[in-house]
Amino acid sequence: MTSAQSTSLLHFSGHQHLRTRLVLSILSGKAVKIDKIRSDDQNPGLRDYEVSLLRLLERVTNGTIIEISVTGTAVLLRPGVIAGGPVTHECPLSRSVGYFLEPVIMLAPFSKKPLQLTLRGITTDDKDLSVDLIRTVTLPHLQLFGISDGLELRIKKRGSPPLGGGEVQFLCPIVKQVKTLNFVDRGKIKRIRGISHAVRVNPQFSNRMIEAARSVLNRYIPDIYLYSDVYKGEDSGKSPGYALSLLAESTTGAMHCAEATSQPGVAPEDTALLAARALLAEVRRGGCVDRAHQVLVLLFMVLGSEDVGRCRIGVPTERTIQLLRDVKEYFGTTFKIAPADSSDGAEQELLFSCYGTGYVNTNRTLA
């Protein structure tokens, strides 16, 4: 009677969608137990990067209790409050910085103090969003929800796999409540931007990539600006590598992005072509939000004030579908998913609308 009542505990199994489940747990305050993590695998249990992520989450929050079973196949998380403040974290070399940044981006606006997170490790790899895309695409998505002042990702050093050595600093302001999104017009693409970077290789590589990408994209629009970003010396990390990140922005601010990273035995031109074509494929899928950011946008729509938020999205990804289900578990919110009312029959776009939960940043200190 006198002690805390145990709040509801949610159960999930499998290693998939671990990040979103942890983030949702911390945001909603509901404890979560995830079991059967690779229980059938030859190498069962949590991977090093997942453990590292749990560490990071523990550091960003205050009062979080994380229990990992002996075999590592089950995790119990009792979330605390999101504290923010200066945090430094070394990321393992098995995943890039993007893997860690994505969940933190979802949490950071709701912390007690503005977050200043320094992450060290690989900045660009072929598994996760590179820091360039996070800086140029993910963060502008937060602006849709009214999180803008002081939002910044500084790329101090670049680090390519396998040895990494990069460093980024993520600064995020806190908000009281996110704005309700109403984004139903995708507009037309008005500009294409890109960043091609090369570290510890011939800086000419980056220019070659730009040339190649332009050869594909020039036919559509003249407003293409691809930056060549070469880091030298200490700032260029420990391993050689190059990559091209592209983003297409529409008249209404809808953004689609794609990128390709250096592969052994692939010419930079081919990498660039791959990136450009991936961008076109992404553009063709439609929606106001590209596939990599569906999860982020839908989550923030759920967290919006108690109004109807709408967003037009292409075909949802597996992650998105799982997010929708998980959100229902955590917040009890469901989306209305209707085909977007477009006269064009071929379009595969869907209109997601939901009634926000009225999530208010309870961690924020008054006065």
Partner 1 sequence: MDEQTHKAHRAAHSGVKAEKKGKSKDKQRGFNEKAFAPKSGRNADRQGRRNVERDQTRLHVPLVNRTPDDQPPPTIVAIVGPPGVGKTTLLKSLVRRHTKQTLNHVQGPVTVVSGKKKRITFIECNNDLNSMIDIGKIADLVLLMIDGSYGFEMETFEFLNILQSHGFPKVIGVLTHLDLIKKAATLRATKKALKKRFWTEIYQGAKLFYLSGVLNGRYPDTEILNLSRFISVMKFRPLIFRNAHPYMLADRIEDLTPREKVRESDGKCDRTVTVYGYLRGTNLRLGTRVHIPGVGDLNMKSITLLGDPCPLPDADSEKRRKLSEKKKLLVHAPMSDVGGVMYDRDAVYINVPGSFTRGNAGAPQGEGEKMVMDLQDVRDTLDDAVARSQIKLFGSSSQPLTVEARSSQSPDNQTDHEDGDSDDSHGEDDFDEDTKDMDEFDSDLPSDEDELSSDGFDDEDEDVDTEGPSDRGRSFVRNVRRSLKSLSTNHRERSEVDYAESDSDLGHDDEDLENHVGRRVLFDDEEQVSLQSDDDYALSSGEEEADDIPKWKQNMSTKAREAFRHPVRDVRRRDWTRLIYLTSMSPAQILRGDSPFTAEEHNEIGSHDDENFLTVVSSAAQVEEVLDSTKEVVKAGEMKVWESEELLDSIRGLFITDASHDVGSSEAVDGTNPDSDVGTTSADGDTEGAPGNPEVARAAALAAKKEALKRKFDEQYDDPEGSKLDFYEEQKEQITRQLELNRAEFADIDPERRAFVEGFRPGSYVRIELMEAPCEMVEHFNPSYPIVVGGLLASEERFGFVQVRIKRHRWYTKTLKTNDPLIFSLGWRRFQSIPIYSLDDHSIRMRMLKYTPEHMHCYATFYGPVSLPNTGFCAFNTLSGDVAGFRVSATGVVLDIDRSAKIVKKLKLTGVPYKVFKNTAFIKDMFSSALEVAKFEGANIRTVSGIRGQVKKALSKPDGAFRATFEDKILMSDIVFLRAWYSIQPRKFYNPVTSLLLSHKTEWKGMRLTGRVRRDEGIKTPSNVNSTYKPIQRPERRFNSLKVPKKLQAVLPYASKPKNTRAQQRQTYLQKRAVVLEPEEKRAIALLQQARALRKDQVARRKEKREERRVAHRQKVQKEEAKKTEKDKEKRKEYMRVAGIKAKRDDAEDSGRALKRKRT
Q: Which amino acid is at 364?
A: R
For the bound state, the minimum distance from the C-beta of residue 85 to partner 1, rounded and expressed in Å, comes to: 13
Strand duo 255-261 + 241-250: pairing = antiparallel
Q: Which amino acid is at 258?
A: A
Secondary structure (H, E, C), 58-93: HHHEECCEEEECCCCCCEEEECCEECEEEEEEECCC
- From the centroid of its chain, how far is CA 196? 20
Alpha-carbon span 267 to 274, nearest angstrom? 11
- Which of 334, 333, 340, 336 lies closest to 314 in space, CA to CA? 340
Torsion of the alpha carbons at 67, 69, 72 and 74, rounded to the nearest 10: -80
DSSP state of 122: B
Alpha-carbon span 139 to 297, nearest angstrom? 11
For the bound state, the minimum distance from the C-beta of residue 192 to partner 1, rounded and expressed in Å, comes to: 9
Alpha-carbon span 241 to 231, nearest angstrom? 11
Using the minimum distance from each CB to partner 1, give the nearer residue, 97 or 230: 97
Segment holding 56, helix H or strand E: helix 48-60
For the bound state, the minimum distance from the C-beta of residue 46 to partner 1, rounded and expressed in Å, comes to: 11
Using the minimum distance from each CB to partner 1, give the nearer residue, 211 or 347: 347
Using the minimum distance from each CB to partner 1, give the nearer residue, 230 or 354: 354
Using the minimum distance from each CB to partner 1, give the nearer residue, 230 or 330: 330
Cβ proximity of 80 and 63 under 8 Å:
yes
Query: 10 Å Cβ neighbour count for 163?
Result: 15
Using the minimum distance from each CB to partner 1, give the nearer residue, 238 or 319: 319
Using the minimum distance from each CB to partner 1, give the nearer residue, 234 or 366: 366
Cβ proximity of 178 and 300 under 8 Å:
yes
For the bound state, the minimum distance from the C-beta of residue 27 to partner 1, rounded and expressed in Å, comes to: 8
Strand duo 65-68 + 84-90: pairing = unpaired
DSSP string, 351-362: EEEEE------T
Max Cα–Cα distance, the chain, nearest Å: 71
Using the minimum distance from each CB to partner 1, give the nearer residue, 202 or 337: 337
- Which of 300, 274, 90, 56 lies closest to 178 in space, CA to CA? 300
Using the minimum distance from each CB to partner 1, give the nearer residue, 33 or 203: 33
Residues 6 or more apart whose CB falls under 8 angstroms from that of 10 comprise 25, 30, 31, 32, 33, 329, 330
Using the minimum distance from each CB to partner 1, give the nearer residue, 128 or 229: 128
Alpha-carbon span 179 to 356, nearest angstrom? 10
Using the minimum distance from each CB to partner 1, give the nearer residue, 86 or 339: 339
For the bound state, the minimum distance from the C-beta of residue 232 to partner 1, rounded and expressed in Å, comes to: 27
